[in-house]
Structure formats: structure tokens, C-alpha cells
Structure 1
């Protein structure tokens, strides 16, 4: 293992040089390609407050334990999906999840819970899961499926465990950023 790698014995600790190199790689390649191709100034970071993250983690633990009381902390995780907000002309889809219209077309992250499950080959895999109710019916865990099969509520807006409400930079000012 070289000095620029994450140390598995100290999770959450990275070399400042590595952090900077990874961020610079993104900005010089992906961000500039997106900005030039779409003609926008896309977000380069997203900020979440700690209480929101803790609340989301607590909700994941509570829902997983409600489904199976034998679920352990090691069975759970969070998958971060890269996502983008719709164009302003399609902003009505954001009605149930209000965010500033200045976020139109910008990158974001959507966090969804994962649960370890053994597949047919005996491998332990991290599957996305959802355990909330829709139309009074229990939504099955999305294990072994690309997406959960959800009952249609007529509006196409069924509940799911997920978090997205962070602060995008830009449009918010980059005050406090180090990278």
C-alpha cells in the first residue's frame, strides 16, 4: 500500500494530496466536459448537515431492524447515486421534494440504504432496499431486483428511503471549501 492510499486500519482518513488530486481530476475532466457540453455551471460539491445524515442513518437502522431484528450494523450501508435535477421546464416533478429552482440541471447525489444479502452463488452483496408503505401496502425489499415493484398510487410518487436535500455549490457560494 502506498502513502497516497486510504488506510483500511483508519477509515475516514485520507491524504490531503490524494483528496486534492481526485477533486482536481473531476473538475478538469468531468465537470469541464459537462459545463462545456450543457452550457451550464454545474455543481462541484454538495453539503449535508450532520444531523440530517445521522437522522437518515437512524431511519435506515430502524427500518432494517423492523423488517429483521437480527440485522446488524455490518449488514447496512448507503449507496450514493449520481443524479441531476430536471430542466426548469420540467420542474413540476420536484413538487413533492422542494429544492431551489437554481438547482435545475445541476448534479446532485441521492443516498439509498443497502442491506447485505447472500445471492444464489453464496456471495454477500449489498442490495438497495426500501421498506416504507405505499397505499397501505408494504413495499417489498428491492433485493435481487433492479428496482422494487411498487404499487401505483396514481401520481407515480411512492415513498422510499432516500436522502437528497443537500446544499449545492454552486449556486450556493463556495465559502468554507478547502478543495
Structure 2
């Protein structure tokens, strides 16, 4: 009888301990909206400007509608950004960023000029030894391309394009 009560008390104590420990975990802080986000209205205006000033010219030149959007999953982007942080840090880079370049896929039978695409290239500033009186290493505010880390491509292009 005494053994059964002891087991119940132990189970109760373990249960309470688990609840206390679980409830004491720090809540995840909400992520603030980035300062450089734009409104949906502004995004639509940017795309309308592109269609009016560039897409029409490309369609007239190519004879078909070119892609004007590229899709990457959040998982792919998060993995790539984590990989860039890891590799760039190992290689001595700081102030990391990503530069997005426009590109064109190779021609195909269907698309003799290929379709437009983008690729993401990591950027950063090399950590140079400090302490010199003069630093002759000029870099712009956005850092240099890190050619030691492969860019990201292979996003899905809209064919036909999807309007925003």
C-alpha cells in the first residue's frame, strides 16, 4: 500500500516538474517587419512599370512573352542564407548580404532566346587585419561578391508569367 502511494507521488511530482519546466521556456519574440518592405500597391506599381517599359519590348523582340518572376521556396532561401553565413564566416567575411543578378537561361527549341531568370550571389567584406594607419582597401557599402561560394539559381520561372 505504501509502495503504491509512493509511485503515485513520484508520478505526480514528475508531472508537475515537467509542466513547470515546459511552461518556463522563453516565448519566441515576434519578428519585426523589415524596414525596407513596400506596400502591395507599390509592388503592383513596380510590376506595372516593368510590363509597360520592358516586358513589351522583350515580347516584340523575342516574339514570345518572357518570364518576369522567379519563385524560390522559403525553405530553399533559408537553407541558402544559412549556408552563406556559415561558409562566409569560415572564409573571413563579415557584413554579409545577397546581390540579385538578372540572367537568361540557355535557348531552347521553344524559346530561342531562353527565359529570364535571377540568381543570388553572396556578398561581404573580407576581414582585414586592423591596426594599420592607412587602409587602402576600398569597398562599396554593399560588399564585394564572394566568388568562393556558389550563387543560388534554379528557381521556378513563370511561363507564362504570373502578374502580382
- Normalising by structure 1, we get a TM-score of 0.60
Displacement after TM superposition at 1:16 (Å): 2.0
Determine if contact 1:112/1:161 at 8 Å carries over to the other structure.
Answer: yes
- Secondary structure (helix, strand or coil) at the match of 1:30 reads helix
Q: What are the ranges of 5 or more consecutive residues in structure 2 without an aligned counterpart?
A: 1-32, 129-134
Deviation at 1:11, TM superposition (A): 2.0
* Bigger-Rg structure (1/2): 2
What residue is the counterpart of 2:102 in the other structure? 82
Instruction: Say yes or no: does 1:127 pair with 2:144.
Output: yes
Moved over 4 A (4+): 101-104, 121-124
Deviation digits for residues 27-53 of structure 1 (CA, Å, limit 9, x no counterpart): 111111011111121002111000100
* 1:58 aligned partner: 82
**Residues 109-148 of structure 1 correspond to what in structure 2 (within 5 A)?**
109-117=118-126, 120=136, 122=138, 124-125=140-141, 126-131=143-148
Change (3 A) 1:129 1:41: same
Paired residue for 1:165?
154
Identify the structure with the greater helix proportion: 2
Taking the aligned partners of 2:146 and 2:64, their CA distance within structure 1 comes to 34
TM alignment of 1:13-52, pairs within 5 A: 13-52=37-76
Q: Distance in 1 between matches of 2:75 and 2:118?
A: 17
Higher relative contact order (CA 8 A, sep 6+): 2
Q: Deviations over 1:61-107 (max 9, x none)?
A: 11111112xx54xx000000000111126xxxxxxxxxxx8796111
Paired with 2:157 and 2:138, the residues of 1 have a C-alpha distance of: 40
* C-alpha contact 2:125 2:139 (8 A) present in aligned 1: no
Contact persistence 1:111–1:163 (CA under 8 A): yes
Which whole-Å CA distance do the structure 1 matches of 2:86 and 2:154 have between them? 21
Q: Superposition RMSD on alpha carbons, in Å?
A: 2.7
Q: For structure 1, which runs of at least 5 residues remain unmatched after alignment?
A: 1-8, 90-100, 132-159
